[in-house]
Structure 1
Amino acid sequence: MVAIWRCPVGFPDRIERTVRVNRPVERVWDAVTTAEGLGAWFGDNAEIDLSVGGTAKLTWKSGDAAELRIERIEPRTVFGYTWHIHGLPDHDPRRTYVEFTLTPDGDGTVVTVVETGFAQLEPAEHRGAFDGNTQGWAHELDELAAYLRV
């Protein structure tokens, strides 16, 4: 597994991570777009309405929860959603956009995750959200790779 982090100079707005997994695109697509898949690596439980404008709801045993609003679907290629920004009050309408891109690579798949939208935050909000999600994506993509190895 190779991890690549890219961040523009200045006030970073973008988190990007790329991993290669030894599974076909169809298997990876199921891991990122089905309740069974998301509930196995991204949360402890998941529900999803896989349609543009639909939602996915993730819950964890800790009591944490997240709701994703699905914005883009290109079957077996791109899955994009917006979600609440970590550290902001629940009623705050600002969201970031997360996009998974799947690219066939021999007998495996290259998974690229990009999250944008952090530049809309004030410096104090930005630090917590950007740093938290940078660490979060490192952990979550490792979880995805481990789930797909099974």
Structure 2
Amino acid sequence: MTPTAPETRSVVVEREFAFPPAKLWRALTQPHLMEAWLMKNDFQPVVGHGFKLTGEWGGVLDCEVLAVEPEKILSYSWDFANDDPAYSLKSVVTFTLTPTGSGTHLRMEQAGFRPDQKQALAGAVAGWGEMFGKLEQVLAQGD
């Protein structure tokens, strides 16, 4: 008998941006722009590239680029180790860009929250909402 993996949950945030996919893609993949809306990083949009995201609170996430389809899909692992298992998180963040008549529809999914991580899940919902607000500001400012 094969053990089954525990059920996990996801956070999904979707938003319409009045900017073309190319502009949104730059904000998702250029380190200086990512820092302005997400976190400090040493990101490169290359599958297999390991990078770190450093939060203002001092936490460091170990990440690896999993998929890159320019102006369409960006996916990376998002691993945060903590002494408290309820806060340790191994997840995958995937951005999907879809052109629309007035700009780009952006869908972000962070998958991998265990059932015992309700507080981390709620924090991610709030955090991504805040980050998408910052992303909107970065896009409005230009490159």
Q: TM-score, length-normalised on structure 1? A: 0.78
The answer to whether structure 1 residue 95 and structure 2 residue 90 are counterparts is yes
Aligned to 1:29: 25
Aligned Cα root-mean-square deviation (Å): 2.5
The answer to whether structure 1 residue 132 and structure 2 residue 126 are counterparts is no
Once the two structures are TM-superposed, the CA of residue 90 in structure 1 deviates from its matched residue by 8.8
| Per-residue CA distance 1:30-62 (angstroms, 9 max, x = gap) | 10011122111112x321132111123222444
Quick one: higher RCO (CA 8 Å, sep 6+), 1 or 2? 2
CA 1:78–1:90 in 2, change beyond 3 Å: closer, same or farther?
A: farther
The answer as to whether partners of 2:15 and 2:106 remain within 8 angstroms in 1 is: yes
Structure 1 residues 1-150: aligned runs within 5 Å: 13-43=9-39, 45-85=40-80, 88-89=82-83, 95-118=90-113, 121-123=114-116, 126-150=117-141
Q: TM-score, length-normalised on structure 2? A: 0.81
What runs of 5+ residues in structure 1 fail to find an aligned partner? 1-10
The code of the aligned residue for 2:133 comes to D
**2:126 aligned counterpart, secondary structure:** helix
Distance 2:22 2:90 in 1: 28
The answer as to whether partners of 1:22 and 1:149 remain within 8 angstroms in 2 is: no
**1:117 aligned counterpart, secondary structure:** strand
Distance 2:18 2:51 in 1: 26
Distance 2:130 2:48 in 1: 27
**1:15 aligned counterpart, secondary structure:** strand
Distance 1:57 1:107 in 2: 34
